Chain A
Amino acid sequence: MSDSAKVTDTLLPDLPPPANSTGVIGWMRMHLFSSPVNALLTLFTLYILYILLVPSISWALINADWVGDNRDACTSGGACWVFIYNRFDQFMYGFYPEMERWRIDLTFGMLAVLVIWLMVPNLPKKGLVSVLTLVVYPIIAYFLLYGGSFGLEVVETHKWGGMSLTLILAIVGIVAALPFGVLLALGRRSEMPIVKSFCVVYIEFWRGVPLITVLFMASVMLPLFLPGEVDFDKLLRAMIGIVMFQSAYMAEVVRGGLQAIPKGQYEAAQALGLNYWKMMGLIVLPQALKLMIPGIVNTFIALFKDTSLVLIIGLFDILAIVQAGLSDPNWLGFSVEGYTFVALMFWVFCYGMSKYSQHLEKRFHTGHGAR
């Protein structure tokens, strides 16, 4: 060892950091009052929050009335949740006959089981369950909800409504749009010029127009397109419009997923002798679909919110049914409560789903997507 070497044998102990950088005071100094401007902003924001939140909370929770039979129960001066409480079943099930509502419960219960199965990591047979969900389940759901066989009474679609209708519209829209979206996306990436331009025109057309004009078109023009005096179901018309519209958005999500698959995967599949459909079906789509899930969830959120537009063509989704309830002479003047309730219902669903999709994105992003 040379003379210039420095050596120490004493290990330095771990010391606590200086007091002004830890604890509540330190935290506040760092995050709230780091500069005079910041301190002013903090105080100003606190003041605004105070003005907004205190009355809202006291209105919505503290001074609110919750239970009762009619508006006379609302005496506290705050929110009158009695209105919601009384009509809750209607808001959920629409005008679906009371005796048959178990069918809706069962339909959504089954869906919940399937979806949770797909969402929880490490559960086996995801492929089989996906097929069940996308192919078999819709058929069962149709017979359960509409009835007409297996001894189930027919429930006409004009009796459907409320939250269940909102969910049905959104789910049908997404599930039916998925296969079309895949085909359109493959077409858009195809080398055949006519196929490609057809897909591009289709996708850009539907993405360029507002959903409301699509719904108008579906409800006014679809009957004109069909032969004879077929007066077909209003709900079905809306669904056709939504699916045509949604396929275009789905196609873009699928295209994004396909683009994320590296060229080497295509090459390796080709080098092994797989043809186009086998390459797509076995190698590219299984990987791309997984990457697409966040995108699909995001379009589902958008569609779920958009379903509220069917009110304009006269379907009774949850917003329409609450709106109708607000014009009941017995419950006039509770529009804030009504809209707050619907907003909350939508918010819970959308926020939950968006958090889930962010979680997935993060998981894929860090590259631990391999199950």
Chain B
Amino acid sequence: MIRSRPTLRRLVVTTTATGLLALAGCSAPTVPEEPAGRRTFVVATAGESDTLNPVLNYGVDGASLIFDGLVARDAGNRLVPGLAAELPTVSADGRTVTATLRDGVLFHDGGALTATDVAFTYQAVLDPKVDSTLRSDLDMVESVTAPDPATVVFRLRYPYAPFLQRLTLGVVPAKLLDGQDINKAEFNRKPIGTGPYRVESWTPGDRLVLTANERYFGGRPANDRVVVAFVEDDNVRAQRMRAGEFDAAELPPKLATGFAPDDTYRVEQVATADYRGVMLPMGNPVLADVAIRRALNLAVDRAAMVAGILGGTGDPAFGPVPPTSEFAEPSIVGKPTADVTAAAALLDAAGWTPGPDGVRAKNGRPARFTLMYPASDTLRKDLALAVTADAKKVGIEVKPEGLTWDAIDPRMKSDALLMGYGTPYDPDFVSYKLFHSRFAGQGYFNPGSYRSQVVDQALQAGRDQADPARRKAAYATFQKQLAADVPWLFLTYLRHSYVLKSSVQGVSPRVEAHEHGVANSLWWNIDTWTRS
């Protein structure tokens, strides 16, 4: 016993010393200062794509860094020529669209871009054997042909005014994919495009490494490499941003604002077209009464939702066309705060009288409905609870219910639902399917079966007519009718927040869609970024 003591002590001492040595060895900086590091940008996002093939939905709205579409979008989301020498022309009947390709564009492997590649790309999307959800957006395309190596002709089933907006889709090289099963092609992981960067490596779940395309037709990028780190968890992304690993990272508003006081960082709150609102189904006996819907529209306090739930990083929403769009109708904008008096007066006039329990009733039917929200989405849950509290103040009882989508789907015809949609590009894109009576009750398209002849005609006119002024008038009619009928209770537009190192130069935020990952994020123009 006594003899053992020194041995034991020695053991402990040795173990501790070894441990400390190991720690010290690891703490020594092993990464040498690399001068080229100044020419590398590292960005972090949670939004990793499943594939890097535009045919399978990678970067379909352009700015995919690896690919180019026939057209691209500038900082104001206006269309500019991409692979096309100038914006494609539309025939008088609106059914033939012709694009002439830019000269001398090369793919990353050195192959020349021809019209066959463009036609192949669109034909692949339209092929039912290809697992592309983009097909739903291109159902107006009857055929795509390449009459000569520099010309692409789209033949449409019906005139579709915003068709050029659909030409941002990245073009893939036909010879690398022709005759292959596109769903399973090697290309999806190691793509070859025409864009400002080519893919050096992609480790799914970890990072995507891009290198500058020396022969990019738009000019060689101002930097050499871009690394996109995929970090799923928000807190982890914030910590690694704090550790200095990233030049830019997408972060939830509450985590992003934590960086604001620090001079080494800059926070960007980018406006989006991504709205959240409550779909009010006509199949619900209480919500079928327009007085209830209008009263709810007056009763919700959008300013409080933006300030409280979104931490100030949002804007009140009054309709499906974002205020940043040239098609936005200013007259539909209401008060951002709640107007309880007006809501109560409206309900009184419509015969909804307060009962003993504070809930209004009409002909014995209490003003009560269920509001569903996807349980995993905390933002929608918070908004649903806010709507519930606001409605209670005017005597309407809302029962919020968090469910999974499969439980929500069969109930959308009769129960209200917190949904989100929106696109910054053209009002036709989402709204046509969401509010046209033709799509009433079809899955997530118009699930509340809203029917209005005025809206149907306006949406159709916006799609049929090429004249911008007439389109604008049609969408003004549409927005006004929607504001009168209130089939949706629009609540807020979100903002995407990003944290950047202050030294990053050349950042130019533009209005974003819901989807933002590798493509179409704050780094849409990263090929022009430099460091001060």
Q: Do A and B bind each other?
A: no
